[in-house]
A = this chain, B = another copy of it.
Amino acid sequence: MAITVVGSVAYDSIETPAGRRERCLGGAATYFSLAASFFTDVRVIAVVGEDFGPEQEAVFNARKIDTRGIERAAGKSFFWEGSYLDNLNEAKTHQTDLNVFATFAPKIPEAYRDSEFLFLANIDPVLQRRVREQMPDVKLVAGDTMNYWIKDHRPALHAMLKGLDILLINETETKMLAGNNNLVQAARAVLELGPRTLVVKHGEYGATAFFSNRSFGQGNQSAGHPFRAPALPLEEVVDPTGAGDSFAGGFFGYLASQPQLTPAALRRAMFYGSVLGSFAVERFGTERLQELTRKEIDDRFIVFRELTHLD
Which A residues are within 8 Å of any B CB, using their own CB? 182-185, 187, 202, 204-206, 208, 221-222, 225-228, 230, 233-237, 264, 267-268, 271, 303, 305-311
Contacts and interface: CB of A to CB of B under 8 A. Distances in A.
B228 A230 contact: yes
Contact of A234 (B184, B208, B222): B184
Contact of A233 (B184, B222, B268, B306): B184
Nearest to A188: B235
Nearest to A205: B205
Contacts of A307: 222, 225-228
Given A228-B308, A308-B309, A185 B235 contact: yes
20 contacts: A182-B235, A182-B236, A183-B204, A184-B235, A185-B235, A222-B303, A222-B306, A222-B307, A225-B306, A225-B307, A226-B233, A227-B307, A228-B230, A264-B310, A267-B311, A268-B310, A305-B310, A308-B308, A308-B309, A309-B310
Contacts of A237: 182
A220 B144 CA distance: 40
A225 B310 contact: no
Contacts of A208: 233
Contacts of A205: 202, 205-206
Nearest to A309: B309
A184 B231 CA distance: 12
Given A202-B205, A205-B202, A267 B233 contact: no
A207 to B, nearest CB: 11
B306 A221 contact: yes
Contact of A310 (B183, B184, B235, B267): B267
Contacts of A204: 183
A301 to B, nearest CB: 10
A182 B88 CA distance: 10
A208 B271 CA distance: 17
Contacts of A182: 234-237
Nearest to A268: B310
Nearest to A185: B235
A264 B235 CA distance: 25
